[in-house]
C-alpha cells in the first residue's frame, strides 16, 4: 500500500480509542442504559441560561464561531482575574492536551505521568512520538514526590498531574502543588489538569501567577458546567506559551453555539452553586449505597466516587459487567491496585436509585462468577 502508507509516527501507533462511548456499549447490548454514570458527565445538566442561549443561537449556526473566542475569553479572564492573552480556548481539555504535546514535545522526548491517570493524555503523547514514563499512585492518589523525581531522572519535557485526580477522586492541597512547582526540574513544564477544580475544597486550588513558566493549567465546561457535549475547555498559562497554540491549532474548531452557551453558563453563578450542592449530596448518596452493600467509598473532590469493591481487578470488572447487564453505565480504574474500585458519576436521584437497585445483584453475580 504505497499510496496509503502512513507517516512514521502514526504508522507505529495502534488504532486505539482511549474510551469506548456509552452509545457504542448500548448498540452492543441492544438497549439503552437507564443510568449514565460512567463518563463523569454532569447529569444535573447545564445552566438553564446556557440552554436558553444555545437554543436561541441554533438558527445562527450558519456563521462560523469567533476564532478568537473574544467574549468568552474576556469573561474567563475576569473570572480568574487574569489577562485574556493568558487563556487559550480549545475543543475540550482533550483537544488542548493534544495541542500542548504537539507544541512542546519533540519525538522521543520524555513525558511523565502516573500509571492509571488520564488515558487520553497518554494517547496524545504517543500520538506525537513522545515517550511516556509512568510512576505509581500512592495511597490511591497521584504522588507528587515520585512525579518530580521521575521528571528529574528522565529530563521530562512535561509532567502531567491532575488535581483533583481522575479516576480516584483524591486530591492534594494547593500548598503541595506549589511545593511541587518549586522542586520541578528546570526543563519540565507541569500540566496541571484541573477539570474537577470547581468541585474541590478551596484550599486544593492554589493561587498561581499565570506568567509562572513552570505550569499550564487546564479547565473545562464539561464537568461543573454540565456541558461535556459542547467541547469547550481552556488552558491558563504564560502569554508566550498560550500564543504558541496559534501556530498549530484549528482556529475555527470550536462550535459557535458552544461558545455562546459557555458564556451564558459563566453568568449563572447560582446554578454553579446548586450543582456543587447537588454533587456533594450525590457523593454522600453514592457512599451510602456502597455502605449498604458492605463496600466503602473513597473520599472524593470530584463529581464521581470510587467505590472499593474489596477484592481485585477481575472482581471489580465482573461487578461492572453485571451492572452493565442491568443497564447501568459505569467505568473503573484500569491499573492495580486502584482497579479494585468501580467509579460512579454523580447524577440525579433517579439514576443513583437505579444504581442502588442494581448493585446488590451485580455483587452477587460477581461473587459467584
Task: Specify the residue, 157 or 340, whose C-beta has the smaller distance to its own copies.
Answer: 157
Task: Specify the residue, 145 or 246, whose C-beta has the smaller distance to its own copies.
Answer: 246
Minimum gap (Å) between residue 210 Cβ and its own copies: 13
Cα separation of 231 and 209, whole Å? 26
Cα separation of 249 and 67, whole Å? 10
Minimum gap (Å) between residue 94 Cβ and its own copies: 5
Q: Say how many CA atoms lie within 13 Å of 331 toward its Cβ.
A: 20
Minimum gap (Å) between residue 171 Cβ and its own copies: 23
What are the residues facing 343 on neighbouring strands?
306, 331
Task: Specify the residue, 105 or 318, whose C-beta has the smaller distance to its own copies.
Answer: 105
Minimum gap (Å) between residue 302 Cβ and its own copies: 15
Q: Which three cell numbers stand for residue 331?
A: 467505568
Look at residues 347, 366, 313, 369 and name the one whose alpha carbon lies nearest to residue 34: 347
Cα separation of 104 and 124, whole Å? 12
Number of helices (H) and strands (E), helices first, in the chain?
13, 12
Task: Specify the residue, 89 or 295, whose C-beta has the smaller distance to its own copies.
Answer: 89
* Cβ atoms within 10 Å of 203's Cβ, excluding its own: 10
Minimum gap (Å) between residue 215 Cβ and its own copies: 9
Task: Specify the residue, 66 or 357, whose C-beta has the smaller distance to its own copies.
Answer: 66
For residues 357 and 34, is the Cβ–Cβ distance under 8 A?
A: no
Minimum gap (Å) between residue 293 Cβ and its own copies: 27
Look at residues 24, 51, 26 and name the one whose alpha carbon lies nearest to residue 257: 51
Minimum gap (Å) between residue 151 Cβ and its own copies: 11
Task: Specify the residue, 184 or 322, whose C-beta has the smaller distance to its own copies.
Answer: 184
Cα separation of 96 and 242, whole Å? 11
Minimum gap (Å) between residue 173 Cβ and its own copies: 24
Look at residues 253, 272, 220, 228 and name the one whose alpha carbon lies nearest to residue 69: 253
Helix, strand, or coil (residue 217): strand
Task: Specify the residue, 83 or 203, whose C-beta has the smaller distance to its own copies.
Answer: 83
Task: Specify the residue, 29 or 311, whose C-beta has the smaller distance to its own copies.
Answer: 29
Task: Specify the residue, 59 or 294, whose C-beta has the smaller distance to its own copies.
Answer: 59
Minimum gap (Å) between residue 6 Cβ and its own copies: 6
Task: Extract the runs of DSSP E, i.e. beta strands, from the chain.
Answer: 35-36, 87-90, 110-114, 131-135, 158-162, 189-193, 215-220, 233-236, 296-297, 304-308, 328-329, 341-345
206-239: b (≥16 Cβ within 10 Å) or e: bebebeeebbbbbbbbbbbbbbbebbbbbbbbbe
Minimum gap (Å) between residue 194 Cβ and its own copies: 19
Cα separation of 295 and 105, whole Å? 42
Task: Specify the residue, 164 or 244, whose C-beta has the smaller distance to its own copies.
Answer: 244
Amino acid at each position: 500500500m504505497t499510496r496509503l502508507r502512513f507517516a512514521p509516527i502514526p504508522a507505529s501507533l495502534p488504532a486505539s480509542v482511549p474510551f469506548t462511548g456509552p452509545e457504542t456499549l448500548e448498540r452492543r447490548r441492544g438497549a439503552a442504559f437507564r443510568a449514565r454514570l460512567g463518563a463523569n458527565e454532569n447529569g444535573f445538566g447545564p445552566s438553564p441560561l446556557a440552554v436558553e442561549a444555545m437554543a436561541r443561537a441554533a438558527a445562527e449556526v450558519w456563521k462560523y464561531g469567533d476564532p478568537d473566542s473574544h467574549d468568552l475569553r474576556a469573561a474567563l479572564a475576569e473570572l480568574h482575574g487574569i489577562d485574556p492573552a493568558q487563556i487559550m480556548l480549545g475543543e475540550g481539555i482533550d483537544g488542548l492536551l493534544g495541542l500542548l504535546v504537539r507544541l512542546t514535545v519533540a519525538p522521543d522526548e520524555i513525558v511523565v505521568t502516573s500509571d492509571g491517570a488520564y488515558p487520553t493524555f497518554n494517547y496524545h503523547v504517543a500520538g506525537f512520538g513522545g515517550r511516556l514514563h509512568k510512576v505509581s499512585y500512592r495511597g490511591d492518589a497521584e504522588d507528587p514526590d515520585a512525579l518530580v523525581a521521575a521528571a528529574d531522572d528522565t529530563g521530562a519535557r512535561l509532567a502531567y498531574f491532575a488535581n483533583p485526580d481522575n479516576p480516584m477522586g483524591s486530591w492534594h492541597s494547593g500548598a503541595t502543588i506549589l511545593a511541587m512547582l518549586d522542586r520541578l526540574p528546570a526543563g519540565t513544564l507541569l500540566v496541571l489538569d484541573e477539570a474537577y477544580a470547581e468541585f474541590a475544597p478551596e484550599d486544593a486550588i492554589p493561587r498561581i501567577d499565570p506568567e509562572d513558566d513552570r505550569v499550564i493549567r487546564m479547565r473545562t465546561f464539561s464537568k461543573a458546567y454540565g456541558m461535556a457535549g459542547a467541547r469547550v475547555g481552556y488552558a491558563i498559562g504564560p502569554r508566550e506559551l498560550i500564543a504558541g497554540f496559534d501556530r498549530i491549532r484549528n482556529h475555527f474548531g470550536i462550535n459557535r453555539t458552544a461558545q455562546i452557551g459557555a458564556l451564558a453558563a459563566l453568568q449563572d453563578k447560582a446554578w454553579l452553586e446548586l450543582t456543587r450542592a447537588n454533587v456533594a449530596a450525590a457523593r454522600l448518596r453514592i457512599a451510602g449505597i456502597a455502605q449498604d452493600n458492605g463496600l466503602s467509598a473513597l473520599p472524593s473532590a470530584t463529581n464521581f466516587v470510587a467505590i472499593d469493591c474489596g477484592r481485585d481487578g477481575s472482581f471489580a470488572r465482573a461487578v461492572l459487567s453485571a451492572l452493565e447487564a442491568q443497564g447501568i453505565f459505569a467505568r473503573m480504574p484500569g491499573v492495580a491496585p486502584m482497579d479494585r474500585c468501580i467509579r460512579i458519576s454523580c447524577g440525579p436521584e433517579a439514576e443513583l436509585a437505579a444504581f442502588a437497585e442494581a448493585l446488590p445483584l451485580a455483587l452477587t453475580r460477581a461473587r459467584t462468577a
